[in-house]
Amino acid sequence: MPEKFLKPYDPAGTETRIYEAWEKSGLFNPDECVRQGVTAPDAAAYSVVLPPPNVTGSLHVGHAYEDSLQDAIVRFERMRGKRVVWIPGTDSAAIATQARVEKNIQKEEGKSRHDMGREELVRRVMDFARASESTILNQIRRMGASLDWSRYAFTLDEARNAAVMEAFKRMYEAGLIYRGHRIVNWDPKGQTTISDDEIIYEEEKATFYYLKYGPFTIGTARPETKFGDKYVVMHPDDPRYADWKDGQTFEAEWINGPITGTVVKDSSIDMEFGTGVMTITPWHSSADFDIAERHDLDKEQIIDEYGKLLPIAGEYAGMKIAEARPKIVEKLREKALVVKEEPYTHNIATAERTGGIIEPQIKLQWFVDVDKPFVMQHSEIPGIESGSTATLKALMRAAVESGAVHMPQEGFKNAYFHWIDNLRDWCISRQIWFGHRIPVWYGGEQVHIGTEAPSDEGWTQDPDVLDTWFSSALWTFSTLGWPEETSDLATYHPTAFISPGYEILNLWVSRMILMSGFLLGQVPFKTVLIHGVVRDKQGRKFSKSLNNGVDPIDMAERYGADALRMGLLAGTAIGGDVSFDESKVKGYKHFANKLWNIARFILENTEKVRAGSERDSQFSARELEHLNTLEALTNDVTADIEAFRVYMAAEKLYHYAWHELADKILEESKPILAGADEDARRSRAALLLLLLRRTITLLHPFMPFITEEIWSSFAPLMRGASRSDYDNFLMVARWPLLR
């Protein structure tokens, strides 16, 4: 009996030691598994990529949950003899990371990015990213994640950059990437464009003004944008304005003097809202922009990139919006142009990363065209033939509709289709400095695509970088060596499943399907297993501002990573939100200790009694019953994990180990083991060794550390009871085959 078994189980000390041993063995790497004869050379491949966490600090228990879930499935498949690779990585998260560092620098040194310059800022952001990366990787290791570190990738490393450049080039050459003037979400605070998905709407109480505009009364919440308004729009079917014809002009006294207005009839106008008439500001509103495009109207900029009014505002030029608005309203009142004012609550768009209030602007940006037809050279996606014409939207739809990408959760599937149906062109340029620089060079009127400038003089590179999701979208294959035709790519793509939170279904999952479909003609993964958000006991998200964060390392140190994993996984249906409950983790710490003592009891008693071998033991009827129960459990647990019901498998195992094996079988065994009947003693000892071995084998995907520790401590005894593979880690032992 090893001496450590005489004391309670010590998770903190055990876990780090075991992880080091695993890592040193090289067995997280499937190539090494084959080389060491652990995995058959022709075993089926099973690959998973870790959703790369942002290098913006450290991980929280939400990541711990995601990692535990994937690790349980990955370990299960590895034990089933598959050639398993789980690829780790981190995401540069362009805007998020740069914003974080800029904020720190501003606070500590009082400098802006412009004081510092591009090169210096990028260096500082990269330093921060490297520090975060190191913290994060330690956290992931501490959770026991069996990732193949030899394949580690960072979205901004050399190989991934090569993949991004190649992807950009191929899409550009297919005509799917274009540069154009479009209305974009401009963040005056971050001085960059952001995508629709990076906007957060916040409720604002404002005033809604009814203004006299020539013969009409218009409604607006933003009088400060109205200087250039010379079009008045109404619904073509609105009887109140039936006398007015499209294109008809009229004179009106306006903020800074008389102007000529033009009537525009457009059916996008809501007759019920306000007076049913509005003026439009195409430069600063996407809805207005669309109307202007439809009727080929003039567009004029009113507000600059810093949120200040331009000379068109006359006496208000140079003022910030907030400052100008009351003054303008005052003037309108003086000119008796304000008909009515009423309180009004609406949502204003703010930038997720910087909190800046979005001011739509027309800008020259790069876009991915999601509706343009192109020829699919090669396609393995059902519903899209090789050589046929498709669009990116059609590709995204077909991948899921055909079931090639399986989304078992119907609700998320509907959300995905809904998103595709409403999708507009994807703006991929960002006016920041940290990230993949757009590989486009301008020489006068000429454009060159490539990472290097052409050899002759006079070329300048586009200053923008790509949306961070552009590089993340390549993740399932950029990590496998694409665009090189590596054996990894041939062996491991498409991957088996992806496990993201639902908040990035659109941002990430759909764009992976887009990129993989276009560039490889494949789906990126066969199953999407969407999980919920981990919340605190009050149901709140974990956030820095609430200061309710829980550090997974802290939990692991206090209760053990095994306990934390079980606390997060067991009894938590996948897809729903997870409420983090520390007392649950504590409960599973007790369970770990229980397992420890089950092992101790069995080993202690089988040391004294020479156990019969499994083969020649004459098990009693009662013992055969126990074996059957265990067999049924094995079937159940296997089926559960195969169907991704990880939470159920975990609960069943917990219940079996504690309330069946310990409470019933061990108690029942005590008199037998102390009895006079030697045959009975021997067969019982053999039974208990078998039950213990099977139980810790089944539990290994969930509680890898303690099961490995029991396994290795008692390898000689275990081996005495049965055949084969105790020389190696439990991690690579065989999952019991079904009968």
- What per-residue string of b and e applies to 458-489 under the rule 16 or more CB within 10 Å gives b? ebebbebbbbbbbbbbbbbbbbbbbbeeeebb
H-type alpha helices, 148-251:
158-173
Q: How far is CA 58 from the centre of its chain?
A: 15
Q: Does 502 bind RNA (CB under 7 A)?
A: yes
User: Around Cβ 505, how many Cβ atoms within 10 Å?
Assistant: 19
We find the least distance from the C-beta atom of residue 534 to RNA, in angstroms, to be 10
Interface residue with RNA, options 106, 347, 386, 628 (CB under 7 A): 347
Q: Does 215 bind RNA (CB under 7 A)?
A: no
If you compute the radius of gyration of the chain from its CA atoms, what whole number of angstroms results? Answer: 32
Segment contacting RNA (CB under 7 A): 28-36, 92-100, 163-171, 655-663?
Answer: 655-663
Residue 223 DSSP label: G
Q: Does 441 bind RNA (CB under 7 A)?
A: no
Q: Which is nearer to RNA, 30 or 501 (CB)?
A: 501
Contact status, residue 672 vs residue 680, Cβ threshold 8 Å: yes
Q: Which is nearer to RNA, 75 or 584 (CB)?
A: 584
Q: Does 608 bind RNA (CB under 7 A)?
A: no
Segment contacting RNA (CB under 7 A): 296-304, 309-317, 579-587, 613-621?
Answer: 579-587
Q: Does 668 bind RNA (CB under 7 A)?
A: no
Contact status, residue 167 vs residue 519, Cβ threshold 8 Å: yes
Q: Indicate the angle between helix axes 61-79 and 646-655, nearest 10 degrees.
A: 80
Interface residue with RNA, options 40, 273, 326, 624 (CB under 7 A): 273
Question: Pattern 583-602, binding to RNA, x per CB under 7 A?
Answer: xx-xx-xx-xxx--xx-xx-
Size of the site for RNA (CB under 7 A): 72
Of residues 276 through 335, those in contact with RNA by CB under 7 A are 276, 278-279, 285-287
Interface residue with RNA, options 30, 52, 274, 612 (CB under 7 A): 274
Q: How far is CA 630 from the centre of its chain?
A: 38
Of residues 379 through 398, those in contact with RNA by CB under 7 A are none
We find the least distance from the C-beta atom of residue 665 to RNA, in angstroms, to be 9
CA distance linking residue 52 with residue 89, whole number of Å:
5
Contact status, residue 325 vs residue 313, Cβ threshold 8 Å: no
Q: Which is nearer to RNA, 30 or 701 (CB)?
A: 701
Segment contacting RNA (CB under 7 A): 29-37, 158-166, 376-384, 416-424?
Answer: 416-424
Q: Which is nearer to RNA, 166 or 640 (CB)?
A: 640
Q: Does 649 bind RNA (CB under 7 A)?
A: no
Of residues 698 through 727, those in contact with RNA by CB under 7 A are none
Of residues 460 through 499, those in contact with RNA by CB under 7 A are none
Interface residue with RNA, options 662, 680, 715, 717 (CB under 7 A): 662
Q: Which is nearer to RNA, 91 or 536 (CB)?
A: 536
**Peptide linkage before 483 cis (omega within 30 of 0):** yes
CA distance linking residue 475 with residue 482, whole number of Å:
10
Q: Which is nearer to RNA, 8 or 236 (CB)?
A: 8
Compute the half-sphere exposure of residue 565: CA atoms within 13 Å on the CB side of its CA: 30
Helix (H/G/I), strand (E/B), else coil: 367: strand
Interface residue with RNA, options 169, 558, 645, 715 (CB under 7 A): 645
Contact status, residue 570 vs residue 648, Cβ threshold 8 Å: no
Interface residue with RNA, options 37, 444, 539, 716 (CB under 7 A): 539
Interface residue with RNA, options 159, 415, 449, 715 (CB under 7 A): 415
Of residues 181 through 200, those in contact with RNA by CB under 7 A are 196-197
Element (H, E) at 680: helix 678-699
Q: Does 555 bind RNA (CB under 7 A)?
A: no
Query: At residue 238, what is the residue type?
Result: D
We find the least distance from the C-beta atom of residue 723 to RNA, in angstroms, to be 26
Interface residue with RNA, options 410, 445, 456, 727 (CB under 7 A): 410
CA distance linking residue 512 with residue 526, whole number of Å:
12
Judged by phi (left if over 0) then psi (alpha if -120 to 50, else beta), residue 523 lies in beta
Return the structure tokens found at 95: 């805007």
* Residues contacting 219, CB < 8 A, separation 6+: 208, 209, 210, 211, 273, 274, 275, 277, 278
Interface residue with RNA, options 153, 666, 690, 703 (CB under 7 A): 666
We find the least distance from the C-beta atom of residue 116 to RNA, in angstroms, to be 33
Interface residue with RNA, options 175, 326, 576, 671 (CB under 7 A): 576
Q: Regarding beta strands 192-194 and 231-234, do their DSSP bridges make them parallel or antiparallel, or are they unpaired?
A: unpaired
